[in-house]
Chain A
Amino acid sequence: MLNLQNISLSHGAFTLLDGLNLSLSSGDFMTVIGENGCGKSTLLRCIAGLHASYSGNVTFGQRSVDAWPAKLLAKARAFVNQHNQVQFAFLTEEVLQLGRINQHENLAQSSALICQVAEQLSIGHLFGRDVRTLSGGERQRVFIAKALVQLLPNANEAKTERDFEGKLLLLDEPTSALDFRFQKAMMDVIKGFCQQGLGVMCVSHDINLVLPYATHVILLANGRCLAQGSAGSVITAQNLHQCFGVMPKLIPQANSVPYITH
């Protein structure tokens, strides 16, 4: 579904990404891990089509990501930024409605989809509220919901168990503002969508939270890929030491994904 070949990007003398290769299939949950400033967000922005000046190929669904018509691409991939700010008094449901902007459907159809997602992320009680007055975590949930709403097929397309087949969700620290309960709940919901075919690429610093969900892990250091593969093979004390410069303790767990601590 998603294929990156030899992606490099530099800003003046500073190299942000250096020859990255990776691929992602429908239903995959890929976690990107690395120290601050190693190029994680830049990588996501390249894949989202927000950076024009990289070299190499980003292929998404058989064609280059830059060759997609903008509106069509918006129905197939969504990007949740690290920070989301709205300057005007938009209501929660109005933000979610904007997620359906490229679809030809009536209010009843879009309302049904919005409510479905809102219920899964439990933001229904935020309807009618000005998004600027929401807490950071609430706003984060609203924007993740908006991204999911954006990817949902419309009612005219055949409804299947694989609603999200071939669709891509890019998450930049999706749980950074979420509380203890919603961190796990959010991951569960997203994993559920992966089972419907959604491909997810998730940047996160909360390694212990995301690792059990990840089918693929990629370790980045200075814009280069240190290691990639399954969590079990990538997450070793040596790799993490190379990536973060400190030696972690790995506590073995029953599910073969170790728990990492200082």
Chain B
Amino acid sequence: MLMHTNVSPVQLQLTLYARRKKHLRAFMVALLLAVILLLVGLQAGSFKQSIGILFEALSHKLNQRALSQEQYLQWYVFSELRAPRIFMAMFVGALLAMSGCAMQGLVRNPLADPGLIGISGGAAAAAATALALINHYPQLAVGGQYLIALSAFVGALLAVWVVLIVARTPAGMAISSLILAGVAVNALAGTHIGAISYMANDDALRQITYWTMGSLGGVTWSKVLFVGALSLPIIGLFMHLRQPLNLFALGENEAQCMGLEVSKYKRLILWLVAFSVALATALCGIIGFVGLVVPHIARTLFSADHKYLMPACGALGAILMLGADAASRALFPPLEIPIGIVTSAVGAPFFLYLLAKQKAGGVNA
């Protein structure tokens, strides 16, 4: 024995239990906040929803009585326009934030973003191509929406695939070459979009620009169900990655020595991130900074331990997107600002603040 430091196992156990309880409480507060934002989100926008009339409409529907015109209108806006949007916002927010959390954990850098490995660049380039094609060949416009979503999805995965191929070495995937390859692929995608924009007519140009700003407009229940059905297993997988990410935080060698199959998990994390961001981007366009900022906020509010961080990111991502969606409708009614602008307007300054803080302190949250 070296020194008497009085660590009591009971005390440590109690501390750990207390921490778990504290995080659980914070999580509950987050959920409460989500509910409040949900109600605010309902109200936001050019059309005012009345909770009272909605309840009346609901009870009439349940009792199979006819709705008045006012009730019908309220119900229609709620069930066909606002509600699917709100669900979509939550799913997309959770996916993007959890992807950001996994990405930062994997590369061990709190300034990493899923876009780093070329996902959004690839998606944007492919979507821009599809938009220009649709504009040029009107006969494609029938399934246009789906064509755009599909090509964005495929483009995103293609970009990631190229990045992973380039970064592959005999000893496994090298994180530094991963990021450099991502930079190159993003630049290539930017050039491609530039070329298409240069050749496109005004109409296509506006659509491309609008797409790259992200939007939750035009969300239908079928899209929500589609995303929801895919999101649940993805979120489950992200939750499964919590302890592996904790080990990654100690470094790859350390993780390997502690029994983690590092290269297998690295691939799993990268493809999972790619798949979920591609999914979100394909349906809603580019929504920046959620994946970067939310893990930071969650780390400050909760803990760096991914056991708590991962679910916290899911909840906060959903909340942030709900808020951003409400803001995008409420700021300049009847105009609706693209949601990507809202998230970037909040996220980019926050990112600068983080950079400045990191430079000043050398330690980041």
Contacts and interface: CB of A to CB of B under 8 A. Distances in A.
A122 B5 contact: yes
Given A102-B258, A102-B259, A128 B15 contact: yes
Which of B17, B171, B246 counts the most A-chain CB atoms under 10 A from its CB?
B246
A151 B287 CA distance: 45
Nearest to B108: A87
Contacts of B109: 87
17 contacts: A50-B253, A70-B260, A78-B257, A79-B254, A79-B257, A81-B254, A88-B304, A93-B12, A95-B250, A97-B16, A107-B17, A115-B9, A119-B4, A120-B1, A120-B2, A127-B12, A127-B15
B66 to A, nearest CB: 58
B6 A133 contact: no
A251 interface: no
Interface string B1-37: 1111111111011011100000000000000000000
A202 to B, nearest CB: 16
B220 interface: no
Interface of B: 1-10, 12-13, 15-17, 105, 108-110, 170-171, 243, 246-247, 249-251, 253-254, 256-261, 299, 303-305, 363, 365
B1 A98 contact: no
Interface in A105-132: 107-108, 111-112, 114-116, 118-125, 127-128, 130, 132
A52 B256 CA distance: 12
Contact of B2 (A86, A90, A185): A185
A124 to B, nearest CB: 3
Contact of A101 (B8, B13, B247): B247
A86 B9 contact: no
A246 interface: no
A86 B110 CA distance: 12
Interface in A46-72: 48-50, 52-53, 70-72
Which of B9, B243, B246, B299 counts the most A-chain CB atoms under 10 A from its CB?
B9
Interface in A138-183: 150, 182
A250 interface: no
A229 B34 CA distance: 67
B110 A87 contact: yes
A115 B8 contact: yes
A46 B12 CA distance: 36
Given A88-B299, A93-B16, A108-B13, A50 B257 contact: yes
A122 B365 contact: no
A218 to B, nearest CB: 22
B307 to A, nearest CB: 9
Given A90-B304, A119-B1, A133-B363, 20 more contacts: A70-B261, A79-B254, A84-B251, A87-B108, A87-B249, A93-B15, A93-B16, A99-B258, A101-B243, A111-B12, A114-B9, A115-B7, A115-B9, A119-B5, A120-B2, A124-B5, A127-B7, A127-B12, A127-B15, A185-B2
